[in-house]
Chains A and B, each alone.
Chain A
């Protein structure tokens, strides 16, 4: 049965149970917001050549890690104490999985910050930043929309994110080819272009994680596992 949105977290006979579920949701969204910010900041630090900002981002990853552990513990405690079933169970299980995705996004942001620092120290703007900006905008929007879909239990929006993933892959391939031509033009570009290539790779992974979150939202709402299934199949699940 598709989950009705009115009482995803509320309406339990036990009010404490309502509160536990709501606080798990809110803590997850806080972590999502932080990770989203980390990704945007890392890309900005790279493009602005801001080594100081890059340092801050790397330090802040510890907060992300801490949040991951706290959320896992919160979810474990909820299972142990409340034995959730049906939509509550799907919600808690999905959160546990999505937390892992968020933490990995945090790691990708840290990775981008590391390259931002290296490239800033080397000075001079290397090429490929247009592509970085473009893909970064795309994947951060996906991540934002995935968290939004989670927040609003919007399976249709989650489905749209799943479809976006293919476009990100194509954009990544195209950007990689462009960078390859820069490297062939002048071998002195290679090390810097490789760094940019790693950044693009990290961003492409952020898109994948956003997509995983979207798949979990569909599971949470519709009760069907749409991982490793063609988008057309997921469409049928959501369109029911």
Chain B
């Protein structure tokens, strides 16, 4: 607990520091109320409308009754300690969890009023609309050109070579990579730097004209300059896309997002304007986490 030693000189004439009663440590579980997110989790006319979402890994309940709206063209950051469920929750948004056998998702998850988990739903089409960028850059072992052209080809977005060329150029431009890549489009993508590879992955995600881009710690493997470029890109992309970013860097959440959502032990504890979260958060667990105290 508090051990500040107030060594004030006599001339300071401060009153005696009355000892503050030591509060008992309260475990986080007793502070969180399930399903009761503080702040502003809901939005008018949202892109994603998510209600009472629960995710199970076998018997383990990894996500506990989370309800959240994600607004159109907003950048929302998910933050929280490791294992809090932020990545699991992110992966529900384009059904990436489907690939995990023991994973079950419950609740209502809607994208533009369409049920994401409708059994008849075409998951490939869903993932074209909701693209994803991962922690480690994962370009295909192909040329830069083919990496970006891959999606448009399989989705049949370009009929002619010139159309495809346009898509590749536009996507690379939007990802801020055109100037660096235009003279070596045939070079293999794995020869690029980490930062370039990650921007290539973003270009690849953009190439199929998605509406939403999910980013799972997109900068954790990048150096500060590459990180700054990706963050700059996020700001530019927010004009055209809805962006959901999971990040371990609170400073990154503070820099790039409009709203910040704080997850803890599978609960969504607080969602608020990023400015508010980083200056005067409402929930004490949020406060503890972002100030670097024991949560």
Q: Could you tell me which A residues sit within 8 Å of B by CB distance?
A: 1, 4-14, 17-18, 22, 25-26, 29-30, 32-34, 36-37, 83-90, 144, 147-148, 151-152, 223-224
Contact = CB atoms under 8 A, between A and B. Distances in A.
Main secondary structure on A side of the interface with B: helix
Contacts of A18: 3-4
B12 interface: yes
A22 B291 contact: no
Nearest to A17: B292
Interface string B271-295: 0000001111111101110111110
Nearest to B285: A1
Interface residues of B, number: 38
Interface of B: 1-9, 11-15, 17-18, 20, 22-23, 250-251, 254, 277-284, 286-288, 290-294
Question: Would you list the 3 A-B pairs with minimal beta carbon distance, nearest first?
Answer: A33-B12, A223-B280, A10-B2
Nearest to A89: B279
A29 B23 CA distance: 25
A37 B280 contact: no
Nearest to A224: B280
A90 B280 contact: yes
Determine which residue in B17, B280, B281 has the highest number of CB atoms from chain A within 10 A of its CB, and name it.
B280
A168 to B, nearest CB: 20
Contacts of B254: 85
A160 to B, nearest CB: 15
A85 B282 contact: no
10 contacts: A1-B280, A4-B284, A11-B294, A12-B292, A13-B294, A14-B292, A26-B7, A85-B291, A86-B290, A87-B280
Given A8-B2, A13-B292, A151 B14 contact: yes
A34 B288 CA distance: 34
B294 A33 contact: no
Given A1-B287, A86-B281, 19 more contacts: A1-B283, A5-B2, A6-B20, A7-B1, A9-B4, A12-B292, A13-B293, A13-B294, A22-B5, A25-B6, A29-B8, A32-B14, A33-B12, A86-B278, A89-B279, A147-B12, A148-B14, A151-B14, A223-B280
